[in-house]
Structure 1
Amino acid sequence: MTTGGGATHILIFPFPAQGHMIPLLDLTHQIATNYAGRISITVVVTPKNLPHLHQLLSVHPSIQTLVLPFPSSSKLPTGAENVNDLTPPFFLTFIRALGGLYDPLIRWFRSHRSPPVAILSDMFFGWTHRFAAELGIRRIVFSPSGALALSVLYAMYRDAPPKSDVVSFPGIPNCPKYPWLQMSPMYRSYVDGDPDAEFHRNGFVDNMGSWGLVVNTFAELEEVYLDHLKKELGHDRVWAVGPLKPIVDDDDQTGPTNRGGSFSVPVDSIVSWLDRCDDRKVVYVSFGSVAVLCNDQMEALALGLEKSGVHFVWAVKEPTKELLDGGCGRVPPGFEDRVVGRGLVIRGWAPQVLILGHRAIGAFLTHCGWNSILESTVAGVSMLAWPMQADQFINATLVVDHLKVATRVCEGVQVVPNSDDLARAFIESVSDDRAERQRAARLHEAAVRATKDGFSSAKDVESLIDHLVAPETTSK
């Protein structure tokens, strides 16, 4: 169906977690910018997550929002509407609770005078495949994870490998293998018959049956795994559309700085500090929007930075009172005074895209979240890998072992690294002759090229749009 203006109407449904919402909203921005005459968009959101759409809606006032109350759940903390507000034990319950939006969505769709012809929804919303089937529309999965990570997730939930010292995936190219403790914690916590776990597993099975798949990656980075997914899914409706670019308002070129939130440190002061540093000599440290290090890890990291003598920017997630009381998230007392002049600590959300893109950044100590890996790749910055959970161990396999643009310095959410080893890694990471740096520079060129007109990701976005506006008889 089309709207009154002739544009094809699609429904976009981001999962409420920073690492999931940001890339899907970036894709929404790209579609609205380049295909305004062909596509009209409605975004589903719950009330407390509506502010995350502010920048998108200010740039694209034609985008409609469907604000639905968060389904009530006695098992979740009061007022929690975003994964970043929760501790890990609640994740599966949170995912299942959002399944309560099924009926409100059905009612909205059936009352709409020009309802969407397709729904593009996050991979944690596998139930929207059944929603789409009931309505006779197409469902496209959006994966904020890369193609290798998604291949492992699909194989894991389809084949259900039993607990073992090492879990292998022989059907995936290069046969990735992982210790049991590096598998997804949501999979490891699976209990047969548990309704939250069953809901999550069924969602991934539904993902594999959905009409299409969009992945935030690019062919030059993961072509072998994109080809694998097409083979596994039995069709070619797999589009690599990354690396997705941040939303930038034409009237306000600070878009990448406010991507995902506001900051406790003024952006100008961060840029001024970096401007005083030498090219490629600063280490940037960040563990994303979810991870909070225990105090022993904080002390080891701080000591490693202090011993190394390198310049650094350390973005520290602001811990809750419960985490602080539980021994997590504390910057060691006196640390900032001892490194004054060569170290900058940012408490809270940091303008990561802007920081990584500054000429002074020479290396990035990262938890290997997929958004961080792509942002580092676009910036041409080599990485120091400290994967902790979720898909991060899989992502580390790609950047450390296959692409060789990163060095593994630690592994695990509870492991405390050796500060001397960290110090050596920091020193080596900003050396001019580091091989990983040269490879990262070449990968940067491929990433930038992929999104230009006529190249792989730009062509895949065009193909996606062509499929969406095609008659519904093309769906299966």
Structure 2
Amino acid sequence: MTVNAENIIPTRTHVLIFPFPAQGHMIPLFDLTHRLAIRGGSALKITVLVTPKNLPFLSPLLSAGLNIEALTLPFPSHPSIPSGIENVQDLPPSGFPTMIHALGGLHAPLLSWITTHPSPPVAIVSDFFLGWTQHLGIPRVEFSPSAAVTCCILNTLWIEMPTIGGDDEILEFTKIPNSWRYSWSQISSIYLSYVDGDKAWEFIRDSFRDNAASWGLVVNSFADMESVYLAHLKKEMGHDRVWAVGPVLPVSQGDRGGRTSVSVDHMMSWLDARADNNVVYVCFGSQVLLTEEQTLALASALEKSGVHFVWAVKEPVERDSSRGNILDGFEDRVAGRGLVIRGWAPQVAVLQHRAVGAFLTHCGWNSVVEAVVAGVLMLTWPMRADQYTDATLVVDELKVGVRACEGPDTVPDPVELARVFVDSVPGKQTQRIRAMKLREAALDAIVNQERGSSVKDMDGFIEQIVSLGQKK
């Protein structure tokens, strides 16, 4: 049941939302904001903070007729970020730490806005890369666009500060349920790059530590998928203000998009002509760019396998770069059974199509959640940090996926990868049955208005926020 402000307080409770400017972070938080506005009804007034060049990403929400407004603050100048860049996608892969530090420059103007606003927000919901927002004089709710277990691992890393070992040395997280183990090469690159005494890195260290001290935590996950880790977070944070409100998905499949070489209608018609569970979907998210060798190996594997597939190819920004290009003549050789998309693909719609049976993924959390909701078998190829965590969760704990490859520099054996493709559609019945059961649990969590765990957590979150407004 939607919370009705008229039965609680006479005015709307003001909440500030602050996304981290990376596509994989903004999209789920904007989707959560949309759900929050709908579920909260007239109880909430929502302001979303963006910098000028990221305002277009917010446009669909602003035009949706909801209680959502934009707060646009100038992007802080930073010596390591060229003028005009305000999004991680426009930086090299190492740009995350730089962006985290640069955004800290918004502290003073944001604090000024809060303290002078005639009806200031009672709380801020901000991305887990923005821990410094803990120090704005209002309760801060951390938003995790990653798994609950990732939050557990990050909190442990930045609070306990284990000594960095060699790449092959194993780091064990014995306090976290199921005692997760990783080699140092698979640990957060931001943590590995931490340099004691460097003011920039000290800021990032303190920002991550602030996450564990946040007033609350919202996770894009659900109880049936990560109950033990959600319970661990509550124990470690010392309170019950941990809400699993996922899977957070767009209200409609038309909410998100981008440039693509193939029309959505053509893509759907192409899939309509394929048998159930017979297509492999290949996509590595918004940031991963395969090397030329990896691209050629993947193309060869798809060609050798004989499977039907849709491949979303991220092409290089520089025209003269060979990275990301596929074999000359490849599309001609796979004509009739392969569809290559250069640019954006409507991933939610593709995954939920009956013809798609397997998904070769880098295991970004958004992709994992979308695959879970679609009930699609995942073929995992993690590239960095939390993607290794997600792959372990998918393959070893949830058992809804199989390993296909691993590592940012690994070039797969085309013959072996082709075998993985062949075995996945429409095979792997055990994992496929588990994937469909997990799909049912995911949908029950967000759709069941009476018993859905994520519905209850969303309502509980809204009630706690509204209660903050009552105390003012």
Q: What TM-score range do you get, normalising by the shorter chain?
A: over 0.9
SS in 2 for 1:344: strand
Deviation for aligned residue 1:170 = 0.3
Asked if the contact 1:315/1:350 (under 8 Å) is kept, the reply is: yes
Please, which moves more after superposition, 401-410 or 263-272? 263-272
Structure 2 CA distance for partners of 1:356 and 1:168, relative to 1, 3 Å: same
Please, which moves more after superposition, 449-458 or 368-377? 449-458
Gaps of 5+ in 2: none
Could you tell me which residue of structure 2 aligns to residue 429 of structure 1? 424
Matched, 1:341 2:345: no
SS in 1 for 2:42: coil
Deviation for aligned residue 1:61 = 4.8
Q: Deviations over 1:406-455 (max 9, x none)?
A: 10111100011110110000000013452111110100000000012121
Could you tell me which residue of structure 2 aligns to residue 285 of structure 1? 282
Tell me the distance in 2 between the aligned counterparts of 1:226 and 1:355.
30
SS in 1 for 2:310: strand
Asked if the contact 2:222/2:245 (under 8 Å) is kept, the reply is: yes
Could you tell me which residue of structure 2 aligns to residue 252 of structure 1? none
Tell me the distance in 2 between the aligned counterparts of 1:258 and 1:335.
32
Could you tell me which residue of structure 1 aligns to residue 304 of structure 2? 307
Asked if the contact 2:44/2:67 (under 8 Å) is kept, the reply is: no
Deviation for aligned residue 1:245 = 2.3
Tell me the distance in 2 between the aligned counterparts of 1:233 and 1:468.
18
Asked if the contact 2:401/2:431 (under 8 Å) is kept, the reply is: yes
Tell me the distance in 2 between the aligned counterparts of 1:275 and 1:431.
16
Could you tell me which residue of structure 2 aligns to residue 251 of structure 1? none
Tell me the distance in 1 between the aligned counterparts of 2:430 and 2:471.
47
- How many residue pairs end up in the alignment? 461
Please, which moves more after superposition, 263-272 or 210-219? 263-272
Q: Deviations over 1:187-219 (max 9, x none)?
A: 111111222222211111111111000000000
Please, which moves more after superposition, 111-120 or 464-473? 464-473
Could you tell me which residue of structure 1 aligns to residue 71 of structure 2? 66
Asked if the contact 1:9/1:117 (under 8 Å) is kept, the reply is: yes
Tell me the distance in 2 between the aligned counterparts of 1:389 and 1:433.
26
Could you tell me which residue of structure 1 aligns to residue 11 of structure 2? 6
Deviation for aligned residue 1:63 = 1.1
Aligned partner of 1:419 among 414, 417, 420: 414
Aligned pairs (5 A) from 1:312-323: 312-321=309-318
| Matched AA of 2:343 | G
Could you tell me which residue of structure 1 aligns to residue 385 of structure 2? 390
| Matched AA of 1:105 | L
| Matched AA of 2:79 | S
Structure 2 CA distance for partners of 1:86 and 1:5, relative to 1, 3 Å: farther
Could you tell me which residue of structure 2 aligns to residue 459 of structure 1? 456
Root mean square deviation, CA, Å: 1.7
Structure 2 CA distance for partners of 1:335 and 1:224, relative to 1, 3 Å: same
Asked if the contact 1:32/1:39 (under 8 Å) is kept, the reply is: yes
Could you tell me which residue of structure 2 aligns to residue 36 of structure 1? 41
Could you tell me which residue of structure 2 aligns to residue 121 of structure 1? 126
Deviation for aligned residue 1:77 = 2.4
Could you tell me which residue of structure 2 aligns to residue 166 of structure 1? 170
Tell me the distance in 2 between the aligned counterparts of 1:203 and 1:467.
24
Tell me the distance in 1 between the aligned counterparts of 2:74 and 2:128.
21
Could you tell me which residue of structure 2 aligns to residue 111 of structure 1? 116
Tell me the distance in 1 between the aligned counterparts of 2:346 and 2:181.
34
Aligned partner of 1:230 among 231, 234, 259: 234
Asked if the contact 2:281/2:356 (under 8 Å) is kept, the reply is: yes
Asked if the contact 2:123/2:465 (under 8 Å) is kept, the reply is: yes
Could you tell me which residue of structure 1 aligns to residue 216 of structure 2? 212
Matched, 1:330 2:325: yes
Tell me the distance in 2 between the aligned counterparts of 1:276 and 1:313.
13
Aligned pairs (5 A) from 1:227-266: 227-248=231-252, 256-266=253-263
Deviation for aligned residue 1:93 = 1.3
SS in 2 for 1:88: coil
Deviation for aligned residue 1:474 = 7.5
Q: Deviations over 1:246-301 (max 9, x none)?
A: 033xxxxxxx1452534332110100110111110000000000000000000110
Could you tell me which residue of structure 2 aligns to residue 176 of structure 1? 180
With structure 2 as the length reference, what TM-score do the two structures score?
A: 0.95
Structure 2 CA distance for partners of 1:330 and 1:433, relative to 1, 3 Å: closer
Tell me the distance in 2 between the aligned counterparts of 1:58 and 1:281.
38
With structure 1 as the length reference, what TM-score do the two structures score?
A: 0.94
